[in-house]
A = this chain, B = another copy of it.
Amino acid sequence: MTTLTAFEIASRFAAVKSSPVRDIQAVIARPDVITFAGGIPDASLFERADFAAAFDYVLTHQAKRALQYAGTPGEPELLEQLALRTSRQLPTRPDQLQVTSGSQEAIFLVGQVLLNAGDVILVEEPTYMAAVQAFTLSGARLIAVPTDDHGVLPDALAEAIATHRPKFVYLIPTFQNPSGRTMPAQRRAEVAEVLLRTRTPLIEDDPYGELRFEGEAIPPIASLPGMSAQTILFQTASKVMAPGVRIGWLRAEGPILRSIEIAKQAIGLHSAVTDQLAVARYLATCDLDAHIAKVNAVYRERRDAMAESLAAVLPAGATVTRPEGGMFLWARLGGDVDTTAMLPTAVEAGVAYVPGRAFLLADPDDTTMRLSYVTNSPEVIAEGVSRLAKVFGWK
């Protein structure tokens, strides 16, 4: 049978790439491959009994609502619980939230609501590639702002704002994806000063903030004086509870919330009510803080295992970040290695990572890679790093 190419694809797709992480995951279905590629929580840590009880409650006591159409912003119980959680860092009312199907939908919604074709947005270098994908689909031109170990450089940010008049700045200040680094409080204040002075909106993505293994929590930029009204803050259940339920939320103020609601209507009316009510029940009756403490203890051990394994084998001149939390290490190998070209060989040898090129807009350093330490045990991590060492010819 010949397939007619009956459909002509929209030009907004010309610049959009498939997610390399999703494509790598499809390739590495082989169970013998140790993957450091995805930001995939360890499923054995999920609170399965608690979630089973929450869904059982919902389907037993709230089934008519759970199976029915619902309002677009989100279920009242869930908005209430999420507002309580976000209010730990920034006073938040339930009506300042929109439930999203994961933070990915928050990213997409904001792009749809704010971006005209050709609009510039500023991002960190490196930055989260699925955000690049979604913003590009909404017509954005992305410009990378230089960074150091503390995140985006305030002077460079001010200069880029003056040059490019961006629609907004997109930052992941805490345990950044892919670099793992965190912007200290002082840098946040400097960045906020630039954004306030130039009246530049901020999209602050905070999926990992609660996964802190050590050091003091640093409040979001949205919580600094004057910033809450010009920031849209994203948070999610995916990294601290479970990604399969697709529950994230965004916090905003003022009329932008109404436009986001209309975009959410157009995209899919509302998020699944079953999952919304189950997550609300979980938050109301279970101890999420205790769960996060348990997860953080495990992830800390894995970060240490990966950092130590890498330190023992990485060649001279290579650098690797040592994050205080989150999911990722960022390695820069240096020399003339090409991590993209090497990936098939690595997968063949039973280990996977994400080549750094996917996260880099300005400086496509082909010697970089993102490594997730959260999915595997310390023993498996050690074996995976040992495979990497063989593939790349490290000592």
Residues of A at the B interface (CB closer than 8 Å) are: 3-13, 16-19, 22, 25-26, 38, 40-41, 43-44, 46, 48, 51-52, 55-56, 59-60, 63-72, 100-102, 104-105, 108, 112-117, 130, 133-134, 137-138, 167, 199, 201, 229-230, 232, 238, 242-246, 253-256, 258-259, 261-263, 265-275, 278
Instruction: Evaluate contact between A59 and B48: CB separation under 8 angstroms.
Output: yes
Instruction: Evaluate contact between B254 and A4: CB separation under 8 angstroms.
Output: yes
Between-chain CB contacts (< 8 Å), 23 pairs: A3-B229, A4-B230, A6-B199, A6-B254, A7-B232, A22-B72, A25-B71, A40-B68, A43-B64, A46-B63, A56-B59, A66-B244, A67-B242, A100-B268, A104-B265, A130-B266, A133-B262, A244-B272, A244-B274, A246-B270, A267-B267, A272-B274, A275-B275
Number of copies: 2
Question: CB-nearest residue of chain B relative to A232?
Answer: B7
**Which listed residue, B69, B238, B255, B272, touches A101 by the CB 8 Å rule?**
B272
Q: In the complex, A256 Cα to B262 Cα: how many Å?
A: 27
10 tightest A-B contacts by CB?
A: A67-B242, A6-B230, A244-B273, A52-B59, A43-B64, A48-B63, A3-B254, A101-B268, A105-B268, A67-B244
Instruction: Evaluate contact between B64 and A48: CB separation under 8 angstroms.
Output: yes
Instruction: Evaluate contact between A266 and B116: CB separation under 8 angstroms.
Output: no
Instruction: Evaluate contact between B22 and A48: CB separation under 8 angstroms.
Output: no
Question: CB-nearest residue of chain B relative to A69?
Answer: B243
Q: In the complex, A100 Cα to B267 Cα: how many Å?
A: 10
Instruction: Evaluate contact between B271 and A246: CB separation under 8 angstroms.
Output: yes
Instruction: Evaluate contact between B272 and A71: CB separation under 8 angstroms.
Output: no
**Which listed residue, B65, B253, B262, B268, touches A104 by the CB 8 Å rule?**
B268
Instruction: Evaluate contact between A108 and B266: CB separation under 8 angstroms.
Output: yes
Question: CB-nearest residue of chain B relative to A58?
Answer: B55
**Which listed residue, B26, B238, B274, touches A245 by the CB 8 Å rule?**
B274
Question: CB-nearest residue of chain B relative to A227?
Answer: B6
Q: In the complex, A88 Cα to B63 Cα: how many Å?
A: 30
Q: In the complex, A216 Cα to B263 Cα: how many Å?
A: 38
Given the known interface contacts A40-B69, A51-B63, A274-B55, the answer about A18 and B137 at a Cβ–Cβ threshold of 8 Å is no
**Which listed residue, B72, B116, B261, touches A11 by the CB 8 Å rule?**
B116
Min CB distance A34 to B, Å, is 17
Given the known interface contacts A46-B64, A243-B69, A259-B13, the answer about A18 and B265 at a Cβ–Cβ threshold of 8 Å is yes
Q: In the complex, A64 Cα to B41 Cα: how many Å?
A: 10
Instruction: Evaluate contact between A130 and B265: CB separation under 8 angstroms.
Output: yes
Given the known interface contacts A4-B229, A56-B59, the answer about A65 and B133 at a Cβ–Cβ threshold of 8 Å is no
Task: Specify which chain B residues have a CB less than 8 angstroms from the CB of A11 in the assembled complex.
Answer: 116
Known: A22-B71, A134-B267. 16 other contacts (CB 8 A): A6-B201, A7-B255, A7-B256, A11-B116, A18-B258, A18-B265, A22-B72, A52-B60, A55-B55, A67-B244, A69-B243, A101-B267, A101-B268, A104-B267, A105-B267, A245-B272
Min CB distance A389 to B, Å, is 28
**Which listed residue, B41, B48, B65, B266, touches A16 by the CB 8 Å rule?**
B266
Task: Specify which chain B residues have a CB less than 8 angstroms from the CB of A116 in the assembled complex.
Answer: 10-12
Task: Specify which chain B residues have a CB less than 8 angstroms from the CB of A259 in the assembled complex.
Answer: 9, 13
Given the known interface contacts A12-B112, A69-B38, the answer about A5 and B270 at a Cβ–Cβ threshold of 8 Å is no
Given the known interface contacts A18-B265, A55-B55, A55-B274, the answer about A71 and B167 at a Cβ–Cβ threshold of 8 Å is no
Q: In the complex, A274 Cα to B11 Cα: how many Å?
A: 34
